[in-house]
């Protein structure tokens, strides 16, 4: 169970509330006619074909598709980890393709959070120390690091477990720590690649409910890829991707 404080208590930390975009407001993320091709010798493999969508702050998008359909490729392009063959991506009003590598790195540090199928925690560190890692990399002062890490661990319901090391936590608790780590620097957008893939049905549902609550209450945009029908059933918007083609999904 989450702490009674809930996401509402952290709106000032995340910049939520009044900053949540309305449907008519500017998009947090805008993807237009995105194409990604890979060339191997004389062959060309098209991973994404004219993908377009927008995401407002405080909205939760689920992208469904089989392995190899292009889901992870799309997330990598949004994160600026790879370049599209054609098309454009705007994040927080910035055209990612026009940013230098150092500017992309700074954008990831300031505006993006990442959650993966595996929690990827450092086993020798406590939950709080794992959450602090992005802030240490950003040279955030110690007092501020400790305050923020406690806030986000409370947000994900782990106030009583923050001094436990990763091997002492359950799979669901480890994934909550990974979520807290993704949120600790108050990102505008979180990209989650199969975040419930290693969890049982009950724990996976709790994680999805938590992510959606954070999105709505803290005004953070979420794009997740998933095979989990629970995630797509609860998402604000659903898209299906097949052979690199993205289309609105049906619940």
What is the DSSP track for 161-201? GTTSBGGGS-HHHHHHHHHHHHHTT--SEEEEESTTTTS-H
Structure tokens given for 148 = 């923020």
b/e sequence 80-110, b meaning 16+ C-beta within 10 Å: beeebeebebbbbeeebeeeeeeebeebbee
Are 235 and 59 spatial neighbours (Cβ–Cβ below 8 Å)? no
Are 176 and 207 spatial neighbours (Cβ–Cβ below 8 Å)? yes
How much is the pLDDT for 25? 56
pLDDT digits (tens, 9 = 90+) for 126-183: 999 999 999 998 899 999 999 999 999 999 999 999 999 999 999 999 999 999 999 9
Which of the four pLDDT bands, split at 50, 70 and 90, describes residue 4?
very low
* Residue-range domains of the chain with CATH: 7-15+26-248 (3.40.50.300)
Output phi, psi for 99, to 5 deg.
-85, 145
pLDDT digits (tens, 9 = 90+) for 49-100: 999 999 999 999 999 998 888 999 999 999 999 999 999 999 988 999 999 9
Residues in the chain: 251
Q: Cα(240)–Cα(176) distance, rounded to whole angstroms? A: 26
Tell whether the model's pLDDT for residue 17 goes beyond 50. no
């Amino acid at each position: 169970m989450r702490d009674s404080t809930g996401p509402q208590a952290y709106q000032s930390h995340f910049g939520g509330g009044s900053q949540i975009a309305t449907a008519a407001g500017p998009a947090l993320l805008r993807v237009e006619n995105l194409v990604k091709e890979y060339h191997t010798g004389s062959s060309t493999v098209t991973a994404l074909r004219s993908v377009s969508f927008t995401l407002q702050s405080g909205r939760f998008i689920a992208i469904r598709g089989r392995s190899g359909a292009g889901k992870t490729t799309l997330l990598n392009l949004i994160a600026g980890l790879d370049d599209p063959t054609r098309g454009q991506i705007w994040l927080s009003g910035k055209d990612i393709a026009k940013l230098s590598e150092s500017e992309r790195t700074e954008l990831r540090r300031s505006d993006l959070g990442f959650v993966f199928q595996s929690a990827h925690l450092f086993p020798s560190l406590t939950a709080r120390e794992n959450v602090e890692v992005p802030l240490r990399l950003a040279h955030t002062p110690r007092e501020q690091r400790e305050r923020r890490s406690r806030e986000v661990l409370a947000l994900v319901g782990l106030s009583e477990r923050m001094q436990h090391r990763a091997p002492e936590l359950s799979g669901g608790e480890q994934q909550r720590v990974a979520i807290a780590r993704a949120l600790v620097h108050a990102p505008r957008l979180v990209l989650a690649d199969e975040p419930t893939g290693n969890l049982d049905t009950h724990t996976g549902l709790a994680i999805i409910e938590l992510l959606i609550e954070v999105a709505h209450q803290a005004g953070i945009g979420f794009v997740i890829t998933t095979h989990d029908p629970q995630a797509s059933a609860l998402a604000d918007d659903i898209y299906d991707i097949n052979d690199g083609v993205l289309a609105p999904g049906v619940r």
